[in-house]
Amino acid sequence: MNPYSMEELILVQMKKDTILNHWKKIIIIAATLMIAVGLYFILPPLLHGPGGSQSPLPSVPSVPGPAEEPEEAISLRISAVGDVMVHKSQLPAQYDSSTGAYNFDNNFQYLTPYINQADLALFNLETTFAGGTYTGYPAFNSPESLASALKKAGFDVALTSNNHIMDKGLAGMKRTLEMTRKAGLATAGTRLEGEKNYSLVDVKDVKIGIVAYSYETPKVGGVPTINGSHIASEAWPLLNTFSYYNLDQDLLKVKQSIQDARADGAELVICYFHWGEEYQRSPNEYQQHIARQAAGYGADIIFASHPHVLQGTELLDSNGRKVPVFYSMGNLISNQRLETLDNRYTEQGMIAEVDLQYMKSTKQILTIDMKAVPTWVDKYKKSGKDVYAVIPLDAAMNGNPTLAESGHLSRAQQALKDIETLLGEEYIRTAP
């Protein structure tokens, strides 16, 4: 007879099943561990060869990113011309009675192909836009449509530091800046209250500083003058000037302007000086000294005007830097000529051109080259009215329609010979 009841037998059997299940789990875990250990020791020899050395598995090739384009130098052409003047006889020549307005477009029409090739083009504005009555020498005041014509011809910057900018006083100087800027031209050399004494322009992602200075005339009663005239004391802080009688001290102002432009981000600096002796065809010692000092201060290019005739050029070596200097670019346009001054050289000018390669990453000028396009001012009568036009003395000169109409081709050819002799044929560019 079984001593256990049915309930007790069931409980005993359940305990046996539980113990058996635990052992099964332990056996499974132990077997899994043994297989894992076996794989750990057995697989590497199979994968790496019978010698057991672990040769690396072939790596997955990385996908290269886009290749960086090598930096290219920035090519720049910077052009400049000399004095833009409007004498009394030029005013009726540019007046259009049908519109009651002045238009100067025809003066510069032949320059456009050259000026448009420049990335930056500058000129010396030797007159004022003071409003009121228009006048010529000795106190210039011209229609502001002159500024529009120069902008249309392709110019970018008007230099206003010269001996005639104060011809109509402080108010005239200020209005000249306002009208010039209204025409879309930048300015440098004079300024309005609160403005800097240099200008910055962006050209092809390169910041270019422009520093322009003009000479003073001797003091009268201890007061400095411009063109022999007293200047109001409140005007002096708005003018960039230097005195030949205090030159080295005043050149420190030029140095400071260059340094300030650099500190303001200028990568290249152009200096434009109004200096020298009128009608002298070679630079004097003052001009050469100023050029060398400015180059030493960090100027990259030096343009200049005032003598009303052309002077020579020079490629200065300043601490290993090549600095082009154009000592005088003559008159771009005026009524100064053989008939008025008995001086044919006053009819001659140039478009000074500097071509350079600039590397932004290193802030270096890699190459720099200087050339000049000779120009000549034609004047003749048509229908009882004077006509003025600036003629490039280039390969197209013989077929120029204005020269054909005026009959002055031989005078233009003589001008080209004069300029080639003065500058050297290696500096002359005669192809558009």
Whether the CB-CB separation of 193 and 238 falls below 8 Å is answered with yes
What gap in Å lies between CA 164 and CA 341, rounded to an integer? 19
Whether the CB-CB separation of 174 and 234 falls below 8 Å is answered with no
Orientation angle between helical segments 145-153 and 169-182, nearest 10 degrees: 40
Task: Kindly give, in sequence order, each residue whose CB lies less than 8 Å from that of residue 90, ignoring residues fewer than 6 positions away.
Answer: 136, 333, 334, 335, 386, 388
Which H or E run contains 418? helix 409-423
Whether the CB-CB separation of 126 and 164 falls below 8 Å is answered with yes
What pLDDT is stored for residue 221 in this prediction? 87
Of residues 109, 189, 102, 209, the one with CA closest to residue 154 = 109
Cross-strand bridge partners of residue 318? 321
What gap in Å lies between CA 259 and CA 265, rounded to an integer? 10
Whether the CB-CB separation of 118 and 79 falls below 8 Å is answered with yes
Q: What angle do CA 243, 247, 249 make, to 5 degrees?
A: 110
What gap in Å lies between CA 258 and CA 318, rounded to an integer? 15
Task: Kindly give, in sequence order, each residue whose CB lies less than 8 Å from that of residue 389, ignoring residues fewer than 6 positions away.
Answer: 106, 107, 109, 110, 377, 378, 402
What gap in Å lies between CA 143 and CA 104, rounded to an integer? 9
3-state secondary structure 142-169: CCCHHHHHHHHHCCCEEECCCCCCCCCH
| Amino acid present at 390 | V
- Is domain 76-364 in CATH 3.60.21, yes or no? yes
- Residue 179, CB half-sphere, CA atoms under 13 Å: how many? 23
What gap in Å lies between CA 75 and CA 358, rounded to an integer? 6
Residue stretches of the chain with pLDDT short of 70: 1-67, 432
CA distances (Å), origin 263, targets 36, 78, 203, 259, 403 = 71, 22, 18, 6, 49
Residue showing tokens 């140095």: 255
At 392, list the tokens: 């490039």
Q: Is the dihedral of CA 214, 220, 224, 225 positive or negative?
A: negative
Of residues 254, 273, 268, 247, the one with CA closest to residue 327 = 273
**Four-point Cα dihedral 131, 135, 139, 143, nearest 10:** 40
Please count the helices (runs of H) and the strands (runs of E) in the chain. Answer: 11, 20
Whether the CB-CB separation of 206 and 360 falls below 8 Å is answered with yes
At 426, list the tokens: 């290696």
3-state secondary structure 278-312: CCCCCCCHHHHHHHHHHHHHCCCEEEEECCCCECC
Whether the CB-CB separation of 229 and 218 falls below 8 Å is answered with no
At 343, list the tokens: 């001086």
Whether the CB-CB separation of 144 and 129 falls below 8 Å is answered with yes
What pLDDT is stored for residue 24 in this prediction? 56
Work out the number of other CB atoms within 10 angstroms of the CB of residue 47. Answer: 10
At 208, list the tokens: 């270019």
The full length of the chain comes to: 432
At 84, list the tokens: 């833009």
